Amino acid sequence: MGWTADDIPNQDGRRIVVTGANSGIGLEATRELARNGATVIMVCRSVDRGEEAANDIREDVLNADLRVEACDLGDLESIRAFADRLGDDELDALINNAGVMAIPRSETTDGFETQFGVNHLGHFALTGLLLETLGLDEEAPDSRIVTVSSGIHERGEINFGDLQREESYDPWDAYAQSKLANVLFACELERRLLTADANAKSIAVHPGYANTQLQFRGPEQRGSRLRKAAMKVMNTVVAQSADMGALPTLYAATAPDAEGGAYYGPGGFMNMRGTPERQASSDRSYDEETARRLWAISRELTGVTYDLPEPKAEVSA
């Protein structure tokens, strides 16, 4: 039997930020972290939905230590405001989980294509703004930055000539680009942390095919009842539960032997279900030149810089 939520180490005293904590993978990860003693800061676009989710967890986990915070990953001003509210409070882990999937083309508050803007740029900005709170000095316990990608990143390609998909837009291609960006970011961050000798790990994960509300947002925004019905069938027949889909995230955030720079996902049927294992991500995700170029562009677009050195040539994730 593989690693399950029963194997989560005691989390007493740990403070963890989870984005998109009010539903799906984020909700189940929050539930298990709280069950094991962590203080979880639930980052949600809607405070009302966040409070409903927190109350749901409290009914299941007595004395759950939860704090709901508003933050829209599609709005750089909202991200900065959230980071300012946290101030210098130390964190032990950041779980970059929130996301949108295969929606009709739209733009964030700052004019970015929404999937690239929320899934990648929003988390790039948030991580950079919270980096100093994550205890990177050598004497601190190792902190974790976990970025949730998707198996569909294997289809992705970073289109530097049309990052915002203004010239040609396919919702699944845009989603795949954003998820590849997640893996490239996680690996590049790990290289920079290693170069700085920081006591932190950057890890990428994917949930496999998990039964969440994420799959329905695209069909709902298109007004396609047929596609929504098809997704319901797939979620019922093929998908694993959201709590199983959260296991790679929980493993990366808590397991002592989780490795920085690694990519974890379900080890069962077609990597869509099962308990977490280390896996190989796509060939494109290991391209360090692409990762550095994406990092530079992300810094330019968000205005967020990281106090980390560029990686040395010999350092690999």
Quick: pLDDT tens for 164-198: 999 999 999 999 999 999 999 999 999 999 999 99
Q: Provide the 8-state DSSP code for 251.
A: H
Mean per-residue pLDDT for 203-217?
Answer: 78
Sign of the torsion angle spanned by Cα atoms 73, 82, 40, 59: negative
Tell me the two tokens of residue 124. Answer: 């790039």
- Give me the chain's average pLDDT, please: 91
pLDDT over 50 at 161, yes or no = yes
Residue 175 annotated to the active site: yes
160 - beta bridge partners?
none
Tell me the two tokens of residue 16. Answer: 């963890």
pTM of the predicted protein model: 0.91
Given the residues 169, 175, 209, 251, select the one marked as catalytic: 175
Q: With bands split at pLDDT 50, 70 and 90, how would you rate the model's confidence at 139?
A: confident
pLDDT over 50 at 315, yes or no = no
- Name the helix (H) or strand (E) containing 17: strand 15-19
> Which CATH number describes the domain made up of 10-212+242-302?
3.40.50.720
Alpha-carbon distance 33 to 65, whole Å? 10
- Alpha-carbon distance values, 17 to 2, 25, 64 (Å): 26, 14, 14
Mean per-residue pLDDT for 271-286?
Answer: 95
Q: What is the pLDDT of residue 225?
A: 56
| Closest by Cα among 156, 82, 55 to 115 | 156
- Alpha-carbon distance values, 264 to 51, 108, 272, 274 (Å): 30, 29, 12, 12
pLDDT over 60 at 83, yes or no = yes
Ranges 105-114, 138-147, 291-300: which has the least confidence: 138-147
